[in-house]
């Protein structure tokens, strides 16, 4: 059986809507707790798929969170060996850092549901499934496009929302894996960030999730399938 390991930074940001489609593909799922587990373990390099999940810290905060250096090194090693890596939000920023790009505060929070604009490359598989669909944005940092990466998507405020690294690396600054039910945990875990962000409220986020989350998870599943199938997963 093939195996996926998800690097998790906070308990409430997990694979959520991606867990079932991975299981349907016969992929066994395990979690690695990035702040406390051994990021140099052979199992992480040997996994068929590494999914790097989101979290409320910055890639550049290595002084406060030294495990980030080990996490970046792990991603760098996997990408150099052509081993599949999927990065979501913080995971995408960590992938950018592993590929030598700068990650830094955007100067604003992008939180809520809004469509992304696909590049010409993004309009092809696998991101074609997300065309004109609102996705969930939840970040205050951004990154430069790594040299050699293929730009896939943007928003009006954030130029680099997604990129591909050859066939085996896919980085999404936004979220396509979140379910309406799963987001109830986010509203609690991110309560201070929500309260501090002008124009963002839990009732509004919940209303938008009720409208957009289910069709997005369906589209996100098709996106995931379109990316994994050519990789033999």
Q: What is the pLDDT of residue 68?
A: 98
Mean pLDDT over 109-138 rounds to 95
Task: Please identify which of the residues 71, 110, 129, 177 carries the catalytic annotation.
Answer: 177
Q: What is the pLDDT of residue 67?
A: 98
pLDDT digits (tens, 9 = 90+) for 76-92: 999 999 999 999 999 99
Statement: residue 125 has pLDDT above 90: no
Q: Write the secondary structure of the chain as one string of H (helix), E (strand) and C (coil).
A: CEEEEEEECCCCCCCHHHHHHHHHCCEEEEEEECCCCCCCCHHHHHCCEEEECCCCCCCCCCCCCCHHHHHHHHHHHHHHCCCCEEEECHHHHHHHHHCCCCEEEEEEEEEEEEECEECCCCCCCCHHHHCCCEEEEEEEEEECCCCCCEEEEECCCCCCCEEEECCCEEEECCECCCCHHHHHHHHHHCHHHHHHCCCCCHHHHHHHHHHHHHHHHHHHHHHHHHHHHHHCC
Statement: residue 209 has pLDDT above 90: yes
Domains in the chain, ordered, with CATH? 2-231 (3.40.50.880)
Task: Please identify which of the residues 89, 139, 168, 190 carries the catalytic annotation.
Answer: 89
Q: What is the pLDDT of residue 132?
A: 84
Statement: residue 139 has pLDDT above 90: yes
Task: Please identify which of the residues 9, 168, 175, 190 carries the catalytic annotation.
Answer: 175
Q: What is the pTM for the complete model shown?
A: 0.97
89 is annotated as an active-site residue: yes
pLDDT digits (tens, 9 = 90+) for 152-176: 999 999 999 999 999 999 999 999 9
198 is annotated as an active-site residue: no
């Amino acid at each position: 059986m093939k195996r996926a390991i998800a690097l998790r930074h906070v308990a409430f940001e997990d694979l959520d809507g991606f867990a079932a489609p991975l299981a349907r593909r016969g992929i066994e799922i395990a979690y690695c707790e990035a702040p406390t587990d051994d990021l140099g373990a052979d199992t992480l390099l040997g996994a068929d798929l590494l999914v790097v999940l989101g979290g409320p810290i910055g890639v550049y905060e290595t002084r406060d969170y030294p495990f980030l250096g080990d996490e970046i090194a792990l991603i760098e090693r996997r990408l150099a060996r052509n081993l599949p890596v999927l990065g979501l939000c913080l995971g995408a920023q960590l992938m950018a850092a592993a590929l030598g790009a700068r990650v830094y505060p955007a100067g604003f929070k992008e939180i809520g549901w809004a469509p992304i604009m696909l590049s010409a490359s993004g309009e092809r598989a696998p991101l074609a499934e997300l065309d004109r669909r609102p996705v969930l944005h939840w970040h205050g940092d951004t990154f430069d496009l790594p040299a050699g990466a293929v730009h896939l998507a943007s928003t009006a405020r954030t130029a680099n929302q997604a990129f591909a690294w050859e066939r085996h690396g896919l980085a999404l600054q936004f979220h396509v894996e979140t379910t309406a039910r799963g987001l109830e945990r986010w509203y609690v875990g991110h309560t201070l960030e929500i309260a501090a962000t002008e124009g963002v409220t839990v009732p509004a986020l919940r209303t938008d999730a009720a409208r957009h989350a289910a069709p997005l998870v369906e589209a996100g599943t098709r996106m995931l399938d379109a990316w994994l199938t050519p990789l033999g997963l």
